[in-house]
Amino acid sequence: MNTYARFPLTLTRGEGSRVWDDKGNGYLDFISGIAVNTLGHAHPKLVAVVAAQAATMLHCSNLFHIPSQQQLATQLATLSGLERAFFCNSGAEANEGAIKLARKYFFDQGSKRRTIITASQSFHGRTLATLTATGQDKVKVGFDPLPSGFDYVPYHDIEALKQAINKDTAAIMLEPIQGEGGVHQADPSYLQAVRQLCNEHGLLLILDEVQTGIGRCGTMFAFQQASITPDILTLAKGLGGGVPVGAMLAREEVAVSFGPGTHGSTFGGNPLSCSAALTVLDEIKQNQLLENVQNRSKQLRAGLTNLAKRFSVMGEVRGAGLLLGVPLKMEAASVVAAARDAGLLILLAGPNVLRLLPPLNVSEAEIDEALQKLAIAMEKQV
């Protein structure tokens, strides 16, 4: 179905931070499958693990214990401080699970709290519940009647959040950085204040780290930069390095509300996806990729800031780690197209913001090359 506004490009092969089209043209890939290809393309270790697992067992269903799923849950629990994991296939499913769990938690307490507060310009998925949670009206047109139980506040406005809390509020659901919404980052002080509000009112804090998690922002999870811990955390995108896998993590006290039969997924947490995710986590640790993200982020941010001095239409760089956005005083689509012609793949975060999402193992030389190609694109547009 015609649901995607596709670039006029057919990609057929990838290796590391580069991809090639069906005409043999090469490109630096600073989209990474929209923050999915954590280790770049055709990473040798990930290829070997996926092939070996495919030759052993692709799928057996959650009717049975799955060793790699148990190992992945243990690792994510250790890394996040959240004791329980539910595995699914996508970010939307992870967020759907989080919404269900929050409501079930209060149901089990005999409370009528069901409403979840989210932020304007947020993006949480395309299912009926998650697009309703999304604070962008454009994704909701034509899909009414939408589920009830969501309130919205401006992002990064603690006073508005305080005023929105009422007797029906069950949870606050936020992205530490709004990727789709323009690459807007929450200050640590804001997230700390939100955590405190949840504590004071007995609410659950849900953090959507579908795009920011798994090292993308320079720490394993973006919330760690604010020195807080959510009650529920959602992950997907970069977790499997290209193999579809999502996860919803929760504190033990909250997770017990999901008993047998309350939620499920046919494919979630299958042997293939969990083996891929374990490989991604291992590579991040063994090859110090968090340090690489921090270093390459400084390099890329500095380069973009220098470009902004040359091109007045470019604004101040936003974001963290290797999730960076550059606001423009013009439509950004023409710059994305010009960058593609120069051999660099980047994408939008709204009509006026460029978004750059290179693999976590991108090299210093590749960052420099990308900046050169972006400069060429900017020269053609301004």
Which of 286, 320, 348 is the last residue before a domain boundary? 286
237 is catalytic: yes
Catalytic hit among 86, 106, 208, 223: 208
Domain assignment of residue 204, yes or no: yes
Q: Does the annotation count 107 as an active-site position? A: no
**DSSP structure class, residue 203:** P
Distances (CA, A) of 12 to 19, 20, 27, 56, 137: 8, 6, 12, 27, 35
Residue 73 sits in the same domain as residue 183 = yes
pLDDT for position 330: 96
From 123, 150, 221, 258, the catalytic residue: 123
Note whether 120 and 153 are within 8 A (CB): yes
User: Which of 234, 241, 239, 245 is closest to 271 using CA atoms?
Assistant: 245
Query: For residue 140, what are the β-bridge partners?
Result: none
CA dist., res. 157 & res. 243, Å (int) = 36
Pairing verdict, β 318-320 and 323-327: antiparallel
Catalytic residue among 30, 221, 237, 373: 237
Pairing of strands 204-208, 18-21: unpaired
Residue 153 contacts residue 117 (beta carbons within 8 Å):
yes
DSSP 309-352: HH-TTB---EEETTEEEEEBSS-SHHHHHHHHHTTEE-EESSTT
What's residue 382's pLDDT?
Answer: 77
Q: What is the pLDDT of residue 192?
A: 98
Let me know if 309 is a catalytic residue: no
> Tens of pLDDT along the chain (382 residues)?
999 999 999 999 999 999 999 999 999 999 999 999 999 999 999 999 999 999 999 999 999 999 999 999 999 999 999 999 999 999 999 999 999 999 999 999 999 999 999 999 999 999 999 999 999 999 999 999 999 999 999 999 999 999 999 999 999 999 999 999 999 999 999 999 999 999 999 999 999 999 999 999 999 999 999 999 999 999 999 999 999 999 999 999 999 999 999 999 999 999 999 999 999 999 999 999 999 999 999 999 999 999 999 999 999 999 999 999 999 999 999 999 999 999 999 999 999 999 999 999 999 999 999 999 999 999 998 7
227/259 same-domain check: yes
Considering the domain boundaries, does residue 5 fall inside one? Answer: no
Domain boundary at 255, 286, 317, which?
A: 286
Asked if residue 1 belongs to a domain, the reply is no
Cα(352)–Cα(318) distance, integer angstroms: 13
Cβ-based neighbours of 286, under 8 Å, separated by 6 or more: none
pLDDT for the residue 266: 97
* Count of domains observed in the chain: 2
Q: Which domain covers residue 115, as residue numbers?
A: 47-286
- Please tell me whether residues 221 and 337 are part of one structural domain: no
Which CATH number does the domain housing residue 314 bear?
Answer: 3.90.1150.10
